[in-house]
Amino acid sequence: MIYRVGLTGGIGSGKSTVTSLFKEYGVLVIDSDVISHQVTQSGGIAIAEIHATFGDDYIDSNGALDRARMRQLIFSDHAAKLSLEAILHPLIRAEILVQIGNANTSSTLASPYLLLVIPLLFETPSYHELVQRTLVVDCAETTQVARTIQRSGLDEQTVHTIMASQITRAERLRLADEIIQNDGNLDTLRQQVHQLHLHYKCNFSGVD
C-alpha cells in the first residue's frame, strides 16, 4: 500500500503553496478541502442533510452551502459546529478512502507516496488514522493573520476566532513528524519541500 503523509497547518500557514510545490515532483495529492467543497456544492451529497439540519438560511440561491453564513454560525455556536462536522467528516473521510484505494490499485501511478492535505488532521482522529506520517506547515501567528486577511478578506477578529477553534500552534508542532517553516521567501520554502520530498521518496516510498 502506498505510503501516506498527512500535511496540515493552521489557517494562513501556507498549506496550499506547499502542496503546489509537492505537486511539481509528481506527488499525488488528496485534499480534504477540495472534497469538502465538492460535497457542499449544489447537488453535493451533504446538501440534503445540511438543509434538513440547519434550514433554508444556510443554503444559497444556487443550492450550495452558504459558507459565509455557516462560518458565522459555527464560530458562535459550538453545538452547530459539532452538528456540521458530524455531517461532513464521514463523507469526506469516505471519499479520501476511495481516492487512496484508487491510488493503490492504479497500474500507472508514478507518485512515490501520497500527500493527504487535511487542515483538521490532529483535531479529528478519524483523519489522523489515515496517515502514517505528519508534516506541519508553520509560521508566526501574526503572519497567519495577515495572510488570511489578505487572501480571504475576513476581518481580524474572525481570523482569531478561527485560529482559536483549531489546535494550538505549540501542540501542532509537538505532534509533527516534520515541520516546514514558512516565514521566509518562496525559494527557501521550495528548498524545504525538495529536501522533504527526497526524504519521503528515499525512506518511505511504497512502504506500508
* Lowest mean per-residue pLDDT among 20-24, 109-113, 135-139: 109-113
Task: Say whether pLDDT at 208 is over 60.
Answer: no
Distance of CA 80 to the CA centre of its chain: 20
Q: What would the pLDDT profile of 165-195 be if each residue is shown by its tens digit?
A: 889 999 999 999 999 999 989 999 999 999 9
| Residue that wins the pLDDT comparison between 158 and 51 | 51
Task: Say whether pLDDT at 80 is over 60.
Answer: yes
Residues 99 and 79: beta-carbon distance below 8 Å = no
* Band (121; pLDDT cuts 50, 70, 90): very high
Q: How far apart (Å, rounded) are the C-alpha atoms in residues 156 and 145?
A: 7
| Residue that wins the pLDDT comparison between 75 and 199 | 199
Quick check: helix, strand or coil at residue 90?
Answer: helix
Q: How far apart (Å, rounded) are the C-alpha atoms in residues 146 and 23?
A: 26
Looking at residues 7-19, what average pLDDT do you find? 96
Q: What is the pLDDT of residue 128?
A: 92
Residues 49 and 55: beta-carbon distance below 8 Å = no
Q: What is the pLDDT of residue 158?
A: 87
Distance of CA 108 to the CA centre of its chain: 26
Task: Say whether pLDDT at 109 is over 90.
Answer: no
Q: What is the pLDDT of residue 206?
A: 59
For the record, the C-alpha cell of 162 comes out as 478561527
Alpha carbon dihedral 143, 74, 79, 97, in 10-degree steps, equals -80
User: What share of the chain has pLDDT > 90, as a percent?
Assistant: 81
Q: What is the total residue count of the chain?
A: 208
Domains of the chain (ranges, CATH numbers): 4-204 (3.40.50.300)
At residue 120, φ and ψ (nearest 5 deg) are -100, 35
Using CA atoms, how far residue 75 sits from 17, 104, 128, 159, in Å, is 26, 38, 23, 11
